[in-house]
Structure 1
Amino acid sequence: MKKTISIIGSGFSSLAASCYLAKAGYDVTIFEKNSTIGGRARQLKKDGFTFDIGPTWYWMPDVFERFFSDFNKKPSDYYDLDKLNPAYSVYFGKDDFITIEDTLDKIKVAFENEEKGSSLKLNSFIEKAKSNYDIAIKDLVYNPGVSPLELVTPATIKKLNQFFSTIKTDVRKQFKNNRLVKILEFPVLFLGAKPSDTPSFYSFMNYADFGLGTFHPKKGMYQVILAIESLAKELGVTIKTQNSIDKIIVENSEASGIIANGITYKSDIIVSGADYHHTETLLDKPYRQYTENYWNKKTFAPSSLLFYVGFDKKLKNVNHHTLFFDVDFDVHAEAIYDKPKWPENPLFYASFPSKTDDSSAPTGKEAGIFLIPLAPGIEDTQELRNIYFDKILTRFEKLTSQEVKNAVLFKESFCLNDFINDYNSYKGNAYGMANTLLQTAFLRPKLKSKKVKNLYFTGQLTVPGPGVPPSLISGKLVADLVTKHHKL
């Protein structure tokens, strides 16, 4: 008889793990608390508009290709991918922006226009970033975070100094133009920490940005979720939605099942892709690995205030992805990491998928997603949400020289309380635990429980870290550990 595996949650890591485990011959069932799958990558549809609720950036296409190739498939078997040009634009003031196009050569021209001699420096910077990418994404991140020795290879020994310097130091040593500095520091925000706390080695994110480019799956990121769901079902995975987990059953320090919606499901192995902290609350206290004090001391990636807005007209002077860096980043970062509070003048990001994807909005209308990074654990009220919506739209109108408030058909918001309610997210964080030096690889919460046999974890709070590509990799890593410890 096949060994049974219950997987908690249906985000990228859980879905990926389910595919690998089903392929290996296990009987796999996913339990999802919400009515639709996808975890943070769910979708919102309203009045003919379609929004990705969570991730909107498709970076590192090679990671997606590697995932599907493990099943003799290609992304194109499931969805169509467009390379965006421009990839994004960055506003620094009224009608004042830099556009990042779709090739490094074009980006070098933009840099050179901004600062003489910067294109040569950029070339050298990206060459190093590519070298780091080849080491990290093709090798290091596919390690399970079990031992410090995973990080010790001939290639990493040569780059040891890069683990003790920071992105901020490296970028500012080479580039003096503050606008270019901001653009080069931007990609590491996906890792959830300040550039001043992110090791230099993580410059591989700059290669992902400038070297590989930014893509968009037609009909949105949710198509990737649907693709992996299709693959999972082809492999025999069962998915149960609207099944909230009440408890993980442990007998003699061994996980033996779960209780979902009051019903007991016996299982040989449990894998949780739900919030790590929340998953441990489903265990009796003696079986929890990490204390509340442990979680409280960790550096978490930001939460977010998100708005999904239907506009009654097409918008001007914006691209599919547009960043608004017209205020002081350091002051906003302080409000996230050092003295948690609502930022006075926040940076924000906006995505207009209908600029490149007609399925996102009715003809002649625009779908807009706005995101403000926030500290996890702060107050979240409807009144604050409304105040900040008005703040950013006022700035948006001024910076892009157009009126948009009068064209808002509707707005839906999503913030800390929703991250907690919908995803059981610790302190309402949006992106998991930041990738700082002391929270990298083997220093992150473990994939395998140290206290409960047959209990495993996957997702952005464990290895390798936050983001969609790392979540896919996390699903593979946990599946590899399961198959290693539980031979069929």
Structure 2
Amino acid sequence: MISKRIAIIGAGFSGIASATYLANKGYEVHLYEKHAIAGGRARQLKTDNGYTFDMGPSWYWMPEIFENYFKDFGKNLKDYYQLVKLDPQFEMIFANSKMSIPSSYDNLKEIFEAKEKGAAERLDDFMADAQKKYEIGMGEFVQKPCLSLTEFASLKILKNSFKLNLFTNFSTFVRRYFTHPDLITLMEFPVIFLGAAPKDIPALYSLMNYGGMKLGTFYPIGGMGQIIHAMVKLAQEKGVKFHYNANVEKIVVENNIAKQLIINNEKINFDHIISSADYHFTETKLLDKEYRNYNEEYWDKKTFAPSCLIYYLGINKKLDHIPHHTLFFENSLEQHTHEIYTDKKWPTKPLFYMCCPSKTDDSVAPIGHENLFLLMPLATGIKDDENLREKYFNDMITRIEEKFGLSNIKANIDYKKSYCIDDFTNDYGAYKGNAYGLANTLQQTAFLKPTIKNKKVKNLYYTGQLTVPGPGVPPSLISGKIVANEIINS
């Protein structure tokens, strides 16, 4: 017999995904979100003067993960939002050159060959290997709940375990194929989404290169928030009840069973509870100490993905020659990652990322204006204040002007908002202000991540970027499905 009432804390990707899978199986699902809108880190910010900003994720890779999500419910993604393929996919700026990454793989090979003789053929070899990892990794590996090592004893995984390169680091792996520093940087950059330096990430994650550069970079018209809107609509079609401005204050446990949530000072009974809120926040703020899976020492030893400094900018004129996505890699990736993970300080010579969705989408800015999103990765847990934010803002603006031949951008800003470490902590309860969850190092992969099940409370589960399969939008969708299936199959 199905236990009917399910509570889910947090309306981000993983929370909404869990809710929809469970409601589809007949459960009564209530989703509680402390903000006024859904989305979590993928919320949208709409301004009075006509801008729509995606507050968090801005890259749309691994398109079939999104398509499969809607197919699971007999739906077609195209019925919910319009997807366009970007060409160029993105531009990468180096110290003395820049590289525009085309949508066409054949054109990409030409760029590789022009940089380094024989690199086109080696790119084919790299991508063929990455495709195998992608098919095994995304088809088998990341779909596991990771509650036991025996889950990985399937014939397919065992047969291909050597090919997954779990014990080779990504930096070494890339250098087997390419020697030109620009090509190395290009191939290494996707693993930044996994929250660790290339030298600390298993070579398994070359699957990211295939899932991005080979399959293509996409954009949903209206912004990444349109995915959230689509998921909310689908969830409501399945009967999920959304509760906004709902501050969950405590998970009430009796006899090792989670009985209630206290929400806005009201006690409400449930049969199962899932938290898609920050895992550390859930355990330290919502649970009594004796029911926590992990102590503070455990979390302190974990390698967290970066926090970041973000700026949302409205520009009251068009900016020529700027593409949709731009990566500013004029400085050393190794130095910046060292200052994120080892030195833990504000970067000396930072890299940063710029998104200008108004180049693709007229709906996100007033006519004749531009929508700019700037992001600079940072160490977690370091000092955050307005003066530091402004210092790095000025550095980013200066570099944009220099690289694109622009002038006086600041004089044309008609909307400006920053978002940084303290905001991630205040808005999401993010441990040390992290933006992306746990880094996907070998020591934090699969069953070595925080478990999806509470070990002491049998009907309490966790989903999202601090548990399996890890950080990023596609993994968050998968995480929600994994946890829902655990309850459905229990």
Provide TM-score, normalisation by structure 1: 0.97
1:113 aligns to what SS in structure 2?
A: helix
Query: What letter corresponds to residue 377 of structure 2 in structure 1?
Result: P
The residue aligned with 2:125 is: 124
The residue aligned with 1:330 is: 334
The residue aligned with 2:79 is: 77
Q: For 1:17 and 1:146, how far apart are their aligned partners in 2?
A: 18
- Aligned partner (choices 444, 452, 463) of residue 439 of structure 1: 444
Q: Does 1:464 align with 2:469?
A: yes
Q: Does 1:273 align with 2:271?
A: no
Q: For 1:19 and 1:68, how far apart are their aligned partners in 2?
A: 10
Q: Deviations over 1:425-448 (max 9, x none)?
A: 111100000111011111111111
Q: For 2:3 and 2:483, how far apart are their aligned partners in 1?
A: 19
**Contact preservation (8 Å) 1:2, 1:25:** no
**Contact preservation (8 Å) 1:303, 1:374:** yes
Query: What letter corresponds to residue 254 of structure 1 in structure 2?
Result: I
Q: Deviations over 1:250-294 (max 9, x none)?
A: 001110110011111111110000000001121110001100000
2:131 aligns to what SS in structure 1?
A: helix
Q: Does 1:62 align with 2:64?
A: yes
Q: For 1:261 and 1:371, how far apart are their aligned partners in 2?
A: 34
- Aligned partner (choices 394, 399, 406) of residue 402 of structure 1: 406
The residue aligned with 1:225 is: 228
Q: For 1:153 and 1:339, how far apart are their aligned partners in 2?
A: 41
Q: For 1:172 and 1:342, how far apart are their aligned partners in 2?
A: 29
Q: 5 Å matches for 1:251-266? A: 251-266=254-269
- Aligned partner (choices 359, 375, 379) of residue 379 of structure 2: 375
Q: For 1:448 and 1:41, how far apart are their aligned partners in 2?
A: 25
The residue aligned with 1:105 is: 106
Shift in Å, 1:2? 5.8
Q: Deviations over 1:348-388 (max 9, x none)?
A: 00000000000011111110000000011111101111111
The residue aligned with 1:199 is: 202
The residue aligned with 2:211 is: 208
Query: What letter corresponds to residue 368 of structure 2 in structure 1?
Result: G
Query: What letter corresponds to residue 79 of structure 2 in structure 1?
Result: D
Q: For 1:441 and 1:150, how far apart are their aligned partners in 2?
A: 10
Q: For 1:79 and 1:175, how far apart are their aligned partners in 2?
A: 38
**Contact preservation (8 Å) 1:306, 1:415:** yes
1:473 aligns to what SS in structure 2?
A: helix
Shift in Å, 1:130? 0.4
Query: What letter corresponds to residue 193 of structure 2 in structure 1?
Result: F
Q: 5 Å matches for 1:276-355? A: 276-281=279-284, 282-355=286-359
Q: For 2:155 and 2:119, how far apart are their aligned partners in 1?
A: 31
Sequence identity (%):
50
The residue aligned with 1:185 is: 188
**Contact preservation (8 Å) 1:30, 1:240:** yes
Q: Does 1:390 align with 2:391?
A: no
Query: What letter corresponds to residue 328 of structure 2 in structure 1?
Result: F
1:137 aligns to what SS in structure 2?
A: helix
Q: For 1:235 and 1:243, how far apart are their aligned partners in 2?
A: 21
Shift in Å, 1:159? 3.7
Which runs of 4 or more aligned residues in structure 1 lie more than 6 Å from their structure 2 counterparts after TM superposition? none
Shift in Å, 1:77? 1.3
Q: For 1:93 and 1:334, how far apart are their aligned partners in 2?
A: 19
**Contact preservation (8 Å) 2:196, 2:337:** no
**Contact preservation (8 Å) 1:89, 1:318:** no
Q: Deviations over 1:106-150 (max 9, x none)?
A: 111111121121111111000000010000111211111111233
The residue aligned with 1:247 is: 250
**Contact preservation (8 Å) 2:86, 2:103:** yes
Q: For 1:182 and 1:453, how far apart are their aligned partners in 2?
A: 46
**Contact preservation (8 Å) 1:78, 1:227:** yes
Query: What letter corresponds to residue 255 of structure 2 in structure 1?
Result: N
The residue aligned with 1:145 is: 146
Q: For 1:205 and 1:149, how far apart are their aligned partners in 2?
A: 26
Query: What letter corresponds to residue 433 of structure 2 in structure 1?
Result: G
1:299 aligns to what SS in structure 2?
A: coil
Shift in Å, 1:223? 0.5
Query: What letter corresponds to residue 474 of structure 1 in structure 2?
Result: S
Q: For 1:294 and 1:311, how far apart are their aligned partners in 2?
A: 44
Query: What letter corresponds to residue 421 of structure 2 in structure 1?
Result: L
Q: For 1:51 and 1:148, how far apart are their aligned partners in 2?
A: 42
Instruction: Give unpaired runs (5+ residues) of structure 2.
Output: none
Q: Does 1:176 align with 2:174?
A: no
Q: Deviations over 1:161-199 (max 9, x none)?
A: 611101100111221100110000011111111110111
Q: For 1:296 and 1:468, how far apart are their aligned partners in 2?
A: 25
The residue aligned with 1:455 is: 460
2:262 aligns to what SS in structure 1?
A: strand
Provide TM-score, normalisation by structure 2: 0.97
Aligned-pair RMSD on alpha carbons?
1.1
1:256 aligns to what SS in structure 2?
A: strand
Query: What letter corresponds to residue 251 of structure 1 in structure 2?
Result: E
Q: For 2:33 and 2:395, how far apart are their aligned partners in 1?
A: 36
Instruction: Give unpaired runs (5+ residues) of structure 1.
Output: none
Q: Deviations over 1:443-481 (max 9, x none)?
A: 111111111110001000000000000000000000000
Aligned residues: 484
The residue aligned with 1:414 is: 419
Q: For 2:79 and 2:356, how far apart are their aligned partners in 1?
A: 26
Shift in Å, 1:410? 2.4
Q: For 1:57 and 1:392, how far apart are their aligned partners in 2?
A: 20
2:176 aligns to what SS in structure 1?
A: helix
**Contact preservation (8 Å) 1:309, 1:368:** yes
Query: What letter corresponds to residue 287 of structure 1 in structure 2?
Result: Y
**Contact preservation (8 Å) 1:14, 1:272:** yes
Q: Does 1:12 align with 2:44?
A: no
Larger CA deviation: 337-346 vs 400-409: 400-409
Q: For 1:34 and 1:156, how far apart are their aligned partners in 2?
A: 41
